[in-house]
Chains A and B, each alone.
Chain A
Amino acid sequence: MKQSVKSIAKLVQYDLVIFFREPFFALPTLLLPGFFFVVYASAFGQAPADRISFGRYIPTYMLLISYLTVFFQIGTQYVTDRQNGIFKRLLLSPIRLLHVVISYSIRGVLVSVLGFFEMTVLAGAVLRIPLSENMLRVFFVFLLLASVMMLLSISIHGFIKNAKNVMLFSILCFQYVFFSTGMIMPVEKMPAAVRFFVYLNPIYHMNQVLISAWYQTRQSAEHVLALAAWVILCLLFVRLQKGFATDK
C-alpha cells in the first residue's frame, strides 16, 4: 500500500513536470484563455454594470480551461503516450493500470483547479468583477465537472489509435465545443436544427450546471440528466476498450 502511494506520487510529480515542459501544452491552455478574458472584459465591460454582466462568463472560461487542459491536452498526450509504448512500459513495472489512471485523474483535476484559481484571481482581484456568493459550492461543482471531463477525455480518446488522427479529431472537437457551448452565440438564438447538436454537447450541459452553481439558481434536471447519460456512455466506452494498450 505504502509502495503504491509512493509510486503514484512519483508518477503524478513527473506527469506534471512533463506536462508543463511540453511546448504548447501549458501556455495556450492555461494562460491564453485568461489573457483573452482580460482583453474581452476590458473591452466590453468599461462600466460597472457591464462588468457585472460580464461576470457570467467567468464559469464558462473556467470550464474552457478545464476543457483545453483535460480534454484536449491530456487526451492528446494519452494517445501519444500509448502510441510511444509508455503505458506498456509502465505496466511492465510494478505499476498497475489503476495507478496510471489515478495519476492521470489527479493531474487532470490539479491542472483544472489551477485554471479555476487563475480565473478567480483575474476576475476578482485584477478586474474587480463580483464573484459568486458561494465560491466553495462553485469549487466543488467545478471539481465534479473536471472529473467528468477527465472521464470524457480518456474514454473518447481511447478509440483513437495514433497521434495523426488525434490532431484532426481535436481540431474538429474544439470547433464543435466552441460554437455549441454558448461562447460565441446565445444558444436560444440558434436555429432549432443547430440547437439539437448543442444539446448533444456535454460541455454545454457542464457550462449550464456551473453557471447555475455560480448564481445559486436551481439546477435544471435536464442538464444533470444529460451529463449522467454521458457518464454512463463513457463508462461503456471504457469497458469496450478493454484497457489501455494490451489485450489482457
Chain B
Amino acid sequence: MIRVENITKSYGKNTVLDHISFEIPAGETVAIVGPNGAGKTTLLEILMTLRKADSGTIHIMGERLDEQRSVDKIRSKIGVMLQEGGMYQFIKLKEALELFAAFYSVDKEKIERLIAFFELQPYLNTKFHKLSGGWKQRFLLAIAFLHDPALIFLDEPTTGLDPKATQLVWKKLRGGEQKRKTILVSTHSMEEVEKYCDRVIVLKNGRIIENGAPADIKKKLDVDFFSDAYFCLTEGGNE
C-alpha cells in the first residue's frame, strides 16, 4: 500500500526527516509516534501529498509520488483527517457532507449509509462550530470516510478528547466495514497505540528508531506497557 525509500526533508539547515524507509501493507493500522519535533507531521504531510520530500522515493497505492498526475490520482483515493480540522466553522453538517460529496462524486445512498454509521442524524442541521470536541472529530472522520478510501491518514485524531470520546472515535475507525482499510495515524497517546494499532513507527530527531508491533517492542524491551517502551526508546529509560 505504501513504500517509502530513503526520504529526507530539511527546512533550511534543520533536517526534519533523515533517510526514512518503511513499508505498510494493505489493511494495517500503523501509528507514527515520537516527541514533538520528531518529524511526525512532516512525514504524514509528505505521504498525504501536501509536501515534497527533498530526496528518496515514495509509492502510494502503486503510484510513484513525484509527478502532478500521480498526486491528483492519490488525492482522490485517500481519506484525511487533519490536526487543524480543516472545516468551515459556520457550515452545517449536511451542507459539508453535500460539498465534499460533490468533490468526490459520492451518491446520496452512500451519504445516507455514512450518516447512519457515524450516527450523525441528530446534528445534520447543526453548524460545525457548535459541536463538542468529540462530535467534531467524529464528523471529520466521517468526511475522511465519505468516498470509501482504501487508505486513511489521521493526524492526532483524538487530541483533546476525553476517554469516552476517544473510544468512540476508534470504535468507528475499526468497526464495521472499516476493518479492511489501511490507516496511518500520528498520535501522542501510547495507550491508543497499544490498544488499537497493528504496528508502530517510532521517530526521533527525524530517524526511525523502532518499527514493529507494539507487543513485540514491549517484549523486546521487557516492559509491561507500551508507554514504558516509548520512554525507553526516546529517552533511554523508564518513567
Residues on A lying within 8 angstroms of B by beta carbon are 3, 6-7, 10-11, 14, 17-18, 21-22, 81, 83-86, 88-96, 246-248
Contact = CB atoms under 8 A, between A and B. Distances in A.
Contacts of B102: 6-7, 10
Contacts of A7: 102-103
Question: By CB atoms of chain A within 10 A, which of B49, B86, B95 has the most?
Answer: B86
Given A7-B102, A93-B75, A93-B100, A84 B87 contact: yes
A7 B90 CA distance: 19
Given A83-B84, A91-B75, 18 more contacts: A3-B105, A7-B103, A10-B99, A10-B103, A14-B91, A17-B95, A21-B90, A86-B86, A86-B87, A92-B49, A92-B78, A93-B104, A94-B72, A94-B103, A94-B104, A246-B50, A246-B51, A247-B51
Most buried by B among A7, A91, A92, A248: A92
A96 B82 CA distance: 18
A121 B5 CA distance: 64
Interface centre among B48, B75, B78, by most chain A C-beta atoms within 10 angstroms, is: B75
Nearest to A248: B52
Contact of B98 (A3, A10, A88, A248): A10
Contacts of A22: 90
Interface of B: 48-52, 71-72, 75-76, 78, 80, 82-91, 95, 98-100, 102-105, 127
Contacts, number: 76
A98 to B, nearest CB: 12
Contacts of B86: 84-86, 88-90
B85 A85 contact: yes
A181 B80 CA distance: 46
Contacts of B78: 92
B83 A248 contact: no
Contacts of A248: 49-52, 71
Could you say which of B51, B72, B102, B104 has the most chain A C-beta atoms within 10 Å of its C-beta? B102
B84 A88 contact: yes
17 contacts: A7-B103, A14-B88, A21-B90, A21-B127, A84-B87, A85-B82, A86-B87, A88-B84, A89-B80, A91-B75, A92-B78, A93-B76, A94-B76, A94-B103, A95-B103, A247-B51, A248-B71
A8 to B, nearest CB: 10
Contacts of A6: 102
B193 to A, nearest CB: 24
B50 A88 contact: yes
Nearest to B155: A85
A88 to B, nearest CB: 6
A95 B52 CA distance: 19
A90 B76 CA distance: 11
Contacts of B52: 247-248
Nearest to A80: B89
Contacts of B75: 91-94
Contact of A89 (B72, B82, B104): B82
A7 B76 CA distance: 13
A10 B99 CA distance: 6
